[in-house]
Chains A and B, each alone.
Chain A
Amino acid sequence: MQQQEIHNFLLNYFQANECPILENHLGFITVQLTIELDKELMNRPFYWHYLEKTGGVPNPMILTFITNKEAAPEKLKGEIIHFGSPRLHQIFSSTKNLSRYIRLYENHPYHNSQTPLLPWLCMNLKISYQCDRKRDVFKSIGLQLINGQMVENFHDRLQQITLTPKIPDYSFTLSPLVKPKSGMSRIEKYLRSVIESEEHSWAEEARMRWNQDLRLLDHFYEDIEEENESYETEKKALQEQYEPKINISFINGGLFYLTEKAI
């Protein structure tokens, strides 16, 4: 993530959370936090607890983030933000937490007749292939809840469509034939079958490394006859180190009502 991207990301994040942007210049931004965002980011529960008990005037913080030290004024006070900074990662996880589930409608141009909108279940997920190393794949799957059509890269496709949180005029939604719950398990099943058909040489290699180290370990302890606690500890450590696993984790998802030709 380049510094300019970080700058834009921060701007988008605070705007989306309705925080007034007090300054926005090359190299830095200053924002007035809302009460909600102060609670979300500033980690001062005692202050807010005290305020609510005493009925004082809330005074959420003003923050300045420096996204480019060279471009920002020299004496400016603020937090320097870069890709590795803990603050940015806090905002990253806040971004994910604040908007995990969503429901949107296509804002279509057909105002002449009543337009049906079809329900889609969208799930954005991360597949992690893990042994003593790790690699991730991002997946965005869309499932049409009437005919069961499954679409990959669904999130990218949504970018081509204007969406709105309120149902547009002259529109009605079709009820899903596939229940959302079974839609979710269809997506899970689909992903499992995709993964199973992949080639997993990484896992084979990890098992080989594991076996190799296990053999060494057995050899090391072969002189010692009685039950040995450190042998068991080491063995468990090897399992944790090498055992190949695949984790599918959920990022966010939602219901999208789209016109027939949208996807």
Chain B
Amino acid sequence: MSVEIEFDSSWQDDFLHRIENDGPWGNWELFKLAIGVENHLVIPEFEGLMAPSHLSNLTPLPHQLETAKQVIENMNGKAILADEVGLGKTIEAGLILKEYMIRGLVKKVLILVPASLVTQWAIELNSKFFIPAITQRKSYVWEQCDIVVSSIDTAKRNPHREIIYKQDYDLIIIDEAHKLKNNKTKNYEFVQNLKKKFCLLLTATPIQNRIEEIFNLVSLLKPGHLGSESSFYEKYKRDARSLNDDEHLKELVNKVMIRNRRADTGIEWTKRHVETIPIEFSAAEKDLYESITALKSEGDWLQTSSFSVMTLQREACSSREAVFYTLKNMLQKKENPTPAFENQIQYLIKKVEAVGQNSKAEKALELIQKVNDKVIIFTEYRATQMYLQWYLKQHGISSVPFRGGFKRGKKDWMRELFQKHAQVLIATEAGGEGINLQFCNHIINFDLPWNPMRLEQRIGRIHRLGQEKDVMIYNFAIKNTVEEHILKLLYEKIELFERVVGELDDILTKLEFGNIEDHLIDIFGQSASEGEMRIKMENLSSMIEFAEEMKKGDSHAAAGNS
């Protein structure tokens, strides 16, 4: 077979010129050194990894090296990296990038990550991999720098978009790629139109549970790998949930996806200690809570409002500020409120005003003082966040707020402030994603998220590679309230905290029960009453128990076969 041979002869004239003019000639020692250098830089084999010998500041873990090798040797440099949270997907991507750079196969690189991670990516690539990655701040960066880290939201907008399309990228890395699961979005279209010679999609969320998402993500990486859209949906129902029932499809997906699990890595993780801290309401707080609960018997009051009683109940468990904010909103948003409605709200506002203390905040303060170390407090409510910051300051404790809506620079700044100056970081839900805080090992869940899956993400911020201490998680729950009931149901029944969610998902998909996240969102977001919630939860936990037994049976069968 003939292969095109390119012979570089650009040096010839230069050489001949020197022969003609008898010099200038180089130094023999340097000449020999250059050959010595070249012998060190030659890549002896198609296979294997050169990168580790170039990385003195990094000792990659076995699963990370194996992943890099797989991607380069068996997946031809196009892969979905879907490790569980905290296993070091960034390291894997960095290894692959470095390997390609050393081999001279990749020069121009585009790295698209969530805004809050842009700086962190650039720092890690520079410090751990000696890769001169630049964060995108000016539009000329696209053309002038070889390796650029940017947020996808910036990149997809003009003038950036047009400039980016003109660049000739060798490798494209996209972090949090599960956000591209919908092929109707602008982000999806933007990425689809990028030229992808080598491409890495990083995601922590297992995508194997929704057939449509799998199709979209894989087609982005390798169009046609799962067939054309029409042929794919002919074969698999669009709303099918699990691909585990189809061995063929599963095999196909595994050809482009690597998913390492904590349990498989053989690494000793620091422990998680979960402690539920029951808290008593003060009399006034209890009165507010009970007045809200009493609304349920008020008949059609509920239906006419888009705010459920349970929302208010949960807010009452967080802070009076959170309740007040919602009540105010209810008044403002209601068109032509009846006098009865207004009276009702005013009545509740009076109750709010009667509350003089926050029992949870007091407990949090006590705990923070006892721990005497860095603490992250998570709350669902902005109002609570602001109140807590004020309250802690009254007691001489410095804190910084953190929200998903912060701009990239502000997020970095807040993280830095927390690391260097403040004792407490108070984050709202959206702030939980995309920031690594492994220098801290205490989390207070001040209230519970609507989507319990987010608890894993919260914990994942600190329980990851690099965490050296055991992780302490304190769950606050007010006694005899909906909060305590949820906590009981959720965490004592399925022990969600101590497990890694992925395992549960595996069990469930095996039985085609669907995605646990969907179940939980449905249970905690849609249930009209605690009773309904309890029944649904009972169902889910018996499903899980059943699944676990099946799994045990499976592994016995497997042992028997070997």
Contact = CB atoms under 8 A, between A and B. Distances in A.
Nearest to A96: B34
Interface string A14-35: 0111000000000000000000
B160 interface: no
A141 B297 CA distance: 95
A220 B224 contact: yes
Interface in B225-259: 225, 227-231
B386 interface: no
Instruction: Point out which of B5, B8, B54, B194 has the most chain A C-beta atoms below 10 A from its C-beta.
Output: B5
A103 B16 CA distance: 12
B77 A132 contact: yes
Interface string A96-136: 10111111100000000000000000001010111011111
A89 to B, nearest CB: 9
A194 to B, nearest CB: 11
Interface string B37-58: 1111111111100000111100
B531 interface: no
A2 B550 CA distance: 53
Given A135-B45, A180-B19, A102 B6 contact: no
Nearest to A236: B195
A92 interface: yes
Interface string A209-232: 100010111111111000001100
B26 A13 contact: no
Nearest to A127: B5
Nearest to B78: A241
A135 B6 contact: no
A84 B130 contact: yes
A186 interface: no
A82 interface: yes
25 contacts: A16-B30, A92-B37, A95-B33, A95-B37, A101-B14, A101-B15, A103-B22, A103-B25, A130-B104, A132-B105, A136-B43, A180-B15, A184-B12, A203-B3, A217-B223, A217-B224, A219-B231, A229-B193, A234-B223, A240-B197, A241-B76, A245-B6, A246-B3, A251-B38, A254-B26
Interface of A: 1, 9, 12-13, 15-17, 82-86, 92, 95-96, 98-104, 124, 126, 128-130, 132-138, 140, 155, 163, 165, 180-181, 184, 188, 191-192, 195-196, 200, 202-204, 209, 213, 215-223, 229-230, 233-234, 236-237, 240-242, 244-255
Interface of B: 1-12, 14-16, 18-19, 22-23, 25-31, 33-47, 53-56, 72-73, 76-77, 103-105, 130, 132, 170, 192-198, 219, 222-225, 227-231
